[in-house]
């Protein structure tokens, strides 16, 4: 095989709870993630040796600091034949927006390059490499709806909620994740009580999903308040989406993108047009269930 193209889909956090701070300095979280149709596109081409990277967005580094490059570097080169890869990324997912674009690109690179080089790596090997690359990367090897815990690397697949559309709205301001966490009211070190809270969230999420995706969204995002302190327009976007017909709204990840849940596709499209006309980046999209996601990634 000399080349292939693979999609790297975005995600939203239907809810996100920060349980505590871990002894290793990371934060213990519980979050319900959902892959969506919005995606970047990676074109991978075998080359004689080395790694090269091209990105069509100047805001994204095209060097060894890029997660897709690091994913390629983490893989063992094939024993024979072409031992390098050229990666071209067509970005459609906004950068630094809480949609997981960089992590998804990394997961797609892991899967795609292992196929390109015919490495025959098993799921466990890819998951180990993904966890070393970043907190969201393991989720993107699973996709669909999943409960993530720990520092975000422990993934429990769930049934995909259906029957809704999404409007994504970004104010165009990058909200640094480190600064958001720094503004978060200091959570205690994770204790047995914190672990108990994680288990309670895990046990109630399936029931919440049966009540509809809006029930999960209304469970809230603990990072939203500190992010609004940095970027107040997040709150204004939420209010606009409600007035335009969203049944539930929330910020995804550490921001700054906000999503609205809509029952009606025409109303969703109208909301996106209105907000785009007001100068925001606004698009409609749909959730991408696990079977469709895995087919898109090329992992069956």
Phi-psi domain of 136 (left: phi exceeds 0; alpha: psi -120 through 50; beta: other): alpha
User: Distances from the Cα of 113 to the Cαs of 35, 42, 118, 140, 222, in angstroms?
Assistant: 21, 10, 8, 15, 36
Tracing tokens 């999503």 back to the chain, one arrives at 259
Q: What residues contact residue 247 under an 8 Å CB cut-off, 6+ apart? A: 214, 261, 262, 263
CB 146 within 8 A of CB 158: yes
Give the closest residue to 170 by CA, choosing from 243, 91, 245, 272: 272
Q: Catalytic one among 11, 17, 91, 238?
A: 11
CB 252 within 8 A of CB 98: yes
Residue 136 among the catalytic residues? yes
Give the closest residue to 163 by CA, choosing from 210, 201, 204: 210
Q: Three-state secondary structure along 33-97?
A: EEEEEEEEEEEEEEECCCEEEEECCCCCCCCCCCHHHHHHHHCCCCCCCCCEEEEEEECCCCCCC
Q: Catalytic one among 40, 105, 136, 222?
A: 136
What amino acid positions are annotated as catalytic residues? 11, 136
């Amino acid at each position: 095989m000399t080349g292939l193209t693979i999609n790297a889909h975005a995600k939203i956090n239907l809810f996100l709870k920060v349980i505590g701070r871990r002894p290793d300095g990371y934060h213990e979280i519980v979050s319900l993630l959902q892959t969506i149709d919005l995606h970047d596109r990676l074109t991978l081409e075998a080359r004689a040796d080395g790694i090269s990277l091209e990105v069509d967005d100047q805001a994204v580094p095209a060097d060894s600091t890029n997660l897709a490059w690091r994913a390629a570097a983490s893989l063992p080169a094939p024993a024979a034949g072409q031992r390098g890869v050229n990666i071209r990324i067509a970005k459609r997912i906004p950068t630094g927006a809480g949609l997981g674009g960089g992590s998804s690109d990394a997961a797609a690179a892991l899967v795609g390059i292992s196929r390109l080089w015919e490495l025959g790596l098993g799921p466990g090997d890819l998951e180990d490499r993904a966890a070393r690359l970043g907190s969201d990367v393991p989720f993107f090897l699973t996709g669909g709806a999943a409960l993530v815990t720990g520092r975000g690397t422990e993934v429990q697949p769930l049934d995909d909620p259906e029957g809704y559309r999404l409007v994504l709205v970004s104010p165009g301001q990058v909200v640094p994740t480190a600064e958001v966490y720094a503004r978060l009211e200091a959570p205690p070190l994770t204790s047995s009580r914190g672990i108990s809270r994680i288990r309670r969230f895990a046990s109630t999420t399936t029931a919440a999903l049966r009540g509809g995706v809006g029930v999960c969204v209304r469970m809230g995002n603990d990072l939203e308040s500190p992010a609004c302190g940095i970027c107040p327009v997040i709150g204004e976007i939420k209010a606009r989406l409600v007035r335009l017909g969203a049944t539930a709204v929330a910020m995804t990840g550490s921001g700054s993108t906000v999503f609205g849940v809509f029952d009606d596709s025409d109303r969703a499209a109208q909301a996106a047009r209105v907000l785009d006309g007001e100068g925001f980046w606004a698009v409609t999209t749909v959730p991408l269930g696990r079977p469709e996601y895995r087919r898109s990634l090329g992992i069956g």
